[in-house]
Amino acid sequence: MITYKKIDPATAEYVAIGPADLSKGERRIVEIDGAAIAVFNIAGTLYAIADVCSHDDGPVAEGELVNGHEIECPRHGARFDVRTGGVLSFPAIVDIPAYPVKVENGEILVGLPPEGAG
Ligand code: FES
């Protein structure tokens, strides 16, 4: 199993993706530098993952949320933990990237790896 390197929230470069008005259970899918990233509000906490399934590049974040914190890819049903990007079921066997998230001045900020790192 391949695990993506965790992004250190302390050194991440944060990008604003709009107002922090996501209700519990809602998601927002955005594009940052050509990469699709999805932010979820899970029980009041924000989490961000890449919107690219590690099985066959499906739009995983468009899938259904199950068991509170699991996202099920709409293409072939692989599940990932929204909180960590960790893969939970076949046919995927590789985690997807997860990003640190914070709220400042009413805006959601997603942390990307510092340029040149990783
Ligand atoms: S592309 Fe996501 S399970 Fe196949």
List the chain pLDDT tens, one digit each, 118 residues.
566 778 889 999 999 999 999 999 999 999 998 899 999 999 999 999 999 999 999 999 999 999 999 999 999 999 999 999 999 999 999 999 999 999 999 999 999 988 744 4
Quote the ligand 1 centre to 78 CA distance (angstroms): 6
Cβ of 75 closer than 6 Å to ligand 1, yes or no, is yes
d(CA 9, CA 33): 19
d(CA 73, CA 61): 7
Distance CA 4, CA 99 (A): 11
Looking at the domain that runs over 13-108, which CATH code has it been given?
2.102.10.10
Whether the CB-CB separation of 50 and 59 falls below 8 Å is answered with no
What pTM, to 2 d.p., does this model score? 0.92
Give the Å distance between the CA of 10 and the centre of ligand 1. 32
Alpha helices in 6-115 (DSSP H): none
User: Is 7 a pocket residue for ligand 1 (Cβ < 6 Å)?
Assistant: no
